[in-house]
């Protein structure tokens, strides 16, 4: 799984992955590329599309032909000064949203390094997931200036004026409605909308005073394109009975637009905001949770409620997170998935799995691999149980009926160590069974013996045991003895046990082919599609022949070489369990 960019921290999570039915994922960086580019601005009541914005790569050089108003220059300064990112000489560090602001300002001749050196930062109110705002206090020519950026709805609650037409005017309800409508318009085009504001002050102020009575500058809309491979991963998840759910701090319209593009949701009615979640009690959320596929404007506390609501409906939930505050929801989820690139140490410590590439597609690949691993472990366990039951049946029946013991302890030990082990290991790395990701998630309480597995184990074990006894009987019979005979010569008893020994090994080796699928014929899934299993069978038969033909080994295991006709007989008997298994699968498909 590490080769798939998924690091599993807790081994039990691999089994749980096969049962995941809800995948809750962040939007930015997981569903999208996390490469922000500013494409629109709304300043002085006018919407402006950035020239050549679609070709921007986040590091464009200054364009001397671009003109900007005073409001635009002030807005760019705010995006540069109210940021912790850097952009210099083609190298960028920090949050992609902030880098997009620095790149936009650079194109208009507003450079990060120059501006930061002229306006020293003396105070800061960091961004948090509740306020969704960030503010800094910087030195200015005549004192200090607060620069604030963040979610427009929260920013409007902290502003009293707006900079328009090169003057500061009161923010009237009409103007406020205009800005809200513009947010809806830009968000409907899948753009993340960011608001900027400022406040001048002659004295240094405390952080609690920074976000009061601000002057709104305007809005910028930025695009974060979806990852090209995510749509296919979402389609694959749906086909596998897994429901993808988007959880984001972005505006509802933005989240819904991205969700529609990726196939997560079909309408805005399938979305809900954090404020609407707060208006519900937990019982209401649990009763209505199946209606929603997009959760917008949510905080880490909301994530815990969402996980609990889905779990209350019987779903096995996977949750992604990267921040310190995401730790509770990662712990609460059945599979907590931390981001390997942007994730904090706290989030990684609280998770069961870490995505090295922060990619949603990796989650689905991990689910696929989890299903494969569980199925292969199940095949190996059922195979070993069938083989061991066959040995028990052969020995127990002989003792119960007072017959000679058909196998010696050393022979049983050889079969357990060699004949059983090699195919079991090969089954453990069996390729994906066709249609695996077309099945619904396995219920977590489902037994390993579900879907007729216990019947296959019992019938397979009984058949292996019966054929072993039949070979032993024939070995005695062809020399003129029967099971109840007394004083059977040692060489004849050795010959009969050799036949039982070979048949027991052969039936198990051939039966391993039947264990690759409960419903599909070995010829349907491909006789040679698992070369390791074929290699294990060849090695098993070669070792059996070696034990019989090499004198010192044959003496140690008390076996002897068989005649050609008896070799043909034991091989024929060995194929019978595989034959009946294939016949049963054919009958089952016809039903």
- Give CA–CA dist 35/58, Å, rounded: 8
Smallest Cα–Cα separation from 139: which of 79, 204, 83? 204
- Give CA–CA dist 443/430, Å, rounded: 22
Structure tokens at 430: 């069996």
- Give CA–CA dist 52/55, Å, rounded: 6
Q: How far, CA to CA in Å, does 75 sit from each of 89, 107, 112, 155, 432?
A: 23, 14, 13, 14, 54
Q: Are strands 6-8 and 353-355 parallel, antiparallel or unpaired?
A: antiparallel
User: Which DSSP state fits 323?
Assistant: S
Q: Which of 26, 326, 430, 566 is catalytic?
A: 26
Question: Residue 413, Cβ neighbours under 10 Å: how many?
Answer: 12
Cα 274 to chain centroid distance, Å, stands at 25
Do 431 and 376 contact (CB within 8 A), yes or no? no
Q: Which residue has the tokens 């580019």?
A: 37
Residues constituting the chain: 591
Burial degree of 141 (CB within 10 A; 0-12, 13-18, 19+): exposed
- Give CA–CA dist 87/382, Å, rounded: 59
Do 536 and 512 contact (CB within 8 A), yes or no? yes
Clarify whether 26 is annotated catalytic: yes
Burial degree of 279 (CB within 10 A; 0-12, 13-18, 19+): exposed
Beta-carbon-side half-sphere exposure of residue 175 (alpha carbons within 13 Å): 21
- Give CA–CA dist 98/110, Å, rounded: 14
Question: Residue 29, Cβ neighbours under 10 Å: how many?
Answer: 22
Question: Residue 20, Cβ neighbours under 10 Å: how many?
Answer: 29
Question: Residue 89, Cβ neighbours under 10 Å: how many?
Answer: 7
CA-CA-CA-CA dihedral for 297, 303, 307, 309, to nearest 10: -60
Smallest Cα–Cα separation from 97: which of 27, 29, 37? 37
Render the burial of 142-159: b for 16+ CB within 10 Å, e for the rest.
eebbbbbbbbbbbbbebb
User: Which DSSP state fits 451?
Assistant: T
Which residues does the annotation mark as catalytic?
26
């Amino acid at each position: 799984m590490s080769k798939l960019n998924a690091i599993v921290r807790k081994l039990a999570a691999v089994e749980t992955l096969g049962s995941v039915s809800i995948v809750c994922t962040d939007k930015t960086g997981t569903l999208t590329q996390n490469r922000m580019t500013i494409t629109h601005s709304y300043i002085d009541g006018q919407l402006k599309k950035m020239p050549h914005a679609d070709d921007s790569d986040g590091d464009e050089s200054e364009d001397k032909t671009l003109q900007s108003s005073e409001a635009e220059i002030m807005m760019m300064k705010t995006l540069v000064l109210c940021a912790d990112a850097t952009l210099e000489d083609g190298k960028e560090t920090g949050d992609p949203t902030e880098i997009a602001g620095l790149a936009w300002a650079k194109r208009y001749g507003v450079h990060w390094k120059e501006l930061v050196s002229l306006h020293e930062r003396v105070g800061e109110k960091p961004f948090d997931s509740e306020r969704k705002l960030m503010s800094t206090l910087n030195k200015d020519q005549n004192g200090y200036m607060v620069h604030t950026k963040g979610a427009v709805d929260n920013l409007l609650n902290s502003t009293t004026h707006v900079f328009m037409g090169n003057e500061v005017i009161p923010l009237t309800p009409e103007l406020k409605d205009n800005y809200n409508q513009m947010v809806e318009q830009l968000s409907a085009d899948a753009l993340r909308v960011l608001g900027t504001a400022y406040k001048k002050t002659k004295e240094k102020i405390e952080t609690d005073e920074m976000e009061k009575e601000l002057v709104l500058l305007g809005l910028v809309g930025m695009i974060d394109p979806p990852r090209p491979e995510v749509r296919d991963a979402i389609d694959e998840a749906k086909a596998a009975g897994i429901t993808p759910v988007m959880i984001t701090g972005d505006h509802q319209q933005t989240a819904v637009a991205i969700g529609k593009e990726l196939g997560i949701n079909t309408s805005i009615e399938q979305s809900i905001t954090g404020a609407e979640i707060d208006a519900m009690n937990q019982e209401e959320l649990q009763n209505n949770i199946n209606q929603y596929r997009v959760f917008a404007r949510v905080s880490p506390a909301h994530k815990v409620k969402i996980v609990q609501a889905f779990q209350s409906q019987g779903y096995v939930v996977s949750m992604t997170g990267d921040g310190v505050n995401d730790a509770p929801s990662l712990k609460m989820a059945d599979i907590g998935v931390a981001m390997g690139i942007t994730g904090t140490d706290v989030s990684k410590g609280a998770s069961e799995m870490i995505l090295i590439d922060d990619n949603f597609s990796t989650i689905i690949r991990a689910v696929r691999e989890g299903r494969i691993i569980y199925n292969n472990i199940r095949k190996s366990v059922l195979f070993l149980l069938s083989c061991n039951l066959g040995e028990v049946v052969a020995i127990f029946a002989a003792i119960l009926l007072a017959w000679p013991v058909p196998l010696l302890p050393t022979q049983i030990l050889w079969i357990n160590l060699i004949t059983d082990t090699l195919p079991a290991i090969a089954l453990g790395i069996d390729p994906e069974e066709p249609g695996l990701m077309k099945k619904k998630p396995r219920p977590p309480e489902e037994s390993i013996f579900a879907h007729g597995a216990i019947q296959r184990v019992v019938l397979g074990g009984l058949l292996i045991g019966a054929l072993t006894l039949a070979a032993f009987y024939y070995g005695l019979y062809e020399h003129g003895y029967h099971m109840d005979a007394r004083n059977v010569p040692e060489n004849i008893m050795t010959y009969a046990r050799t036949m039982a020994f070979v048949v027991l090994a052969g039936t198990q080796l051939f039966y391993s082919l039947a264990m690759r699928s409960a419903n599909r014929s070995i010829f349907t899934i491909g006789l040679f599609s698992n070369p390791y299993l074929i290699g294990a069978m060849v090695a098993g038969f070669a070792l059996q022949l070696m034990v019989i033909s090499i004198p010192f080994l044959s003496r140690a295991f008390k076996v002897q070489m068989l005649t050609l006709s008896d070799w043909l007989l034991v091989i024929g008997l060995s194929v019978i369990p595989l034959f009946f298994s294939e016949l049963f699968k054919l009958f089952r498909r016809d039903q």
